[in-house]
Amino acid sequence: MSKITTIIWIACLFLAVRLPAANSGADFPEDGTYRASPLAGVAEAYLPQVFASSHAANLLALKNGDLMCVWFSGTWEGNSDVAIMLARLPKGASQWSKPRVVDHHAGESYQNPVLFEAPDGTLWIFHTTQGAGAGEANAKVLVTRSRNGGAQWSAPEVLFDTPGAFTREPVVVMPNGDWLLPIYIASSVGITNGAETNYSVMEISSDRGAHWKSCPVPQSGGYVQPDVIPAGREYLAFFRSRFADYIYRSTSQDGCVWEAPRKTELPNNNASIQIAKLADGHLVLAFDNVGSVLNNGKPKAGPRKPLSVALSKDNGQSWNWVRDLETGLEAPEPGKDPNRKEPGREEYSYPSVTQTSDGKIHVAYTYRRYTIKAVRFDERWIEGGSTAGTYKPTRK
């Protein structure tokens, strides 16, 4: 272990003691152990709360069969005490490891971590950093690496310093070996006022992340957090909409030159989505199945429930099966604003979805800002249920 790595991990241990601890009083078994869900055919686990609030999970199925999850956690998004967290589910295990701090810096707020396992086995975490309380417009993207399976991580380095640079979705390794990292530029302080100026960029590296070529997506103002998947001889990208109307979609032949995003039939509430290609070629999408059909031309935000999964068997042209994972409380808590900026609010959001080698589909997501909830199920489970959300399939 290098001297720098030793110093980093001493600091992380110190932070794990000094950052505010969780004290939610939430009624769920937060031990990271999978148990049978009230939804038949689903197993669920609540990752332990280290700090008061958690958000923005991202999953990665490792080549050795383990599953990793990263997210950010602290008192609340945007505060100085928000750190990047990591937990691991060993192959075949039923309990996640105790979460630990990977990255934190006083005076900065860390957000939106993304995991990547490079072809040489190096693990990368891309994440944003911004001045505490300053909003998103001054954010930049950092990267930290591990060459020993995630046991230790390097000191963070600035990767993209364009003001407002933000990550959310995973890297795609292209057939020629190039890496494609989708990012977006959050040129507004928040997600509504002025957020129509936010836009998406595909960053492509031909030298294993040493240098990057920027490929802006045309006419993507207000369409952010692009999630890219290969689809035959082209690439598909699906976008979050700042206008809280629909999920948008674009295609590219080379990953750099993209069509202008166009709306799909699926709703969006100005919150994150994620898509994954399954071993059989089908696509599974995790999203909040709610949006507004009235688009007044200004960015807005919608409720973050129900949280659903959709299945497509034709490369995303149609989504004939949708099933809810979370529908939430039937009514807001008495005297509580459901959108209040504190843990416990009615929010099931920012899902991450992947498939492990045993065929199980895994989804991890923000559970009421208390913690990260992880669920797993079979593909056929999606086909066996329905949704209370805005979009209801009409074709079977």
- The reported pLDDT for the residue numbered 292 is 76
At 3 the pLDDT is: 46
| CA separation for the pair 363, 361 (Å, rounded) | 7
Question: Which element (helix H / strand E) includes 7?
Answer: helix 3-18
pLDDT number for residue 22: 57
Residue 331: both structure tokens together? 């009514």
Structure-model confidence comparison of residues 392 and 16, the more confident one: 392
Confidence bin at 330 (pLDDT 50/70/90): confident
In contact, 228 and 244? CB cutoff 8 Å: no
Mean pLDDT within 11-29:
54
User: What residue type is assigned to position 290 of the chain?
Assistant: V
- Point out the least confidently predicted range of 241-245, 333-337, 361-365, 378-382: 333-337
What share of the chain in percent tops pLDDT 90? 84
Q: Does pLDDT of 160 surpass 90?
A: yes
pTM (two decimals): 0.93
**Predicted pLDDT at 297:** 80
Q: Element (H or E) spanning 310, and its range?
A: strand 307-312
- pLDDT tier for residue 336 given thresholds of 50, 70 and 90: confident
pLDDT of residue 6: 39
Element (H, E) at 12: helix 3-18
- Res. 294 pLDDT band, cuts 50 70 90: low
Which amino acid appears at position 123 of this protein? L
DSSP state of 296: -
pLDDT at 352: 98
Q: Label residue 365 by pLDDT band (50, 70, 90).
A: very high
Q: Are strands 108-117 and 100-103 parallel, antiparallel or unpaired?
A: unpaired
Q: What would the pLDDT profile of 207-221 be if each residue is shown by its tens digit?
A: 999 999 999 999 999
**More confident call, 281 vs 3:** 281
Report the pLDDT value the prediction gives residue 4, as an integer from 0 to 100. 45
Asked if residues 166 and 183 have their Cβ atoms less than 8 Å apart, the reply is yes
**Mean pLDDT across the stretch 181-192?**
96
Is residue 128 predicted with pLDDT exceeding 70?
Answer: yes
Q: How far apart are CA 346 and CA 328, in angstroms?
A: 7
pLDDT (mean) for 278-282: 97
Mean confidence (pLDDT) of the chain: 92
pLDDT at 394: 83
Q: What is the pLDDT of residue 13?
A: 36
Residue 181 has pLDDT above 90, yes or no: yes
Check if the beta carbon of residue 240 is closer than 8 Å to that of residue 247: yes
Instruction: State mean pLDDT over 123-144.
Output: 96
Residue 157: how many other CB atoms lie within 10 Å: 10
Domains of the chain: 3-383 (2.120.10.10)
Residue 192 is predicted with a pLDDT of 94
Give one DSSP letter per residue of 98-111, joined into a string.
Answer: PPEEEE--TTEEEE
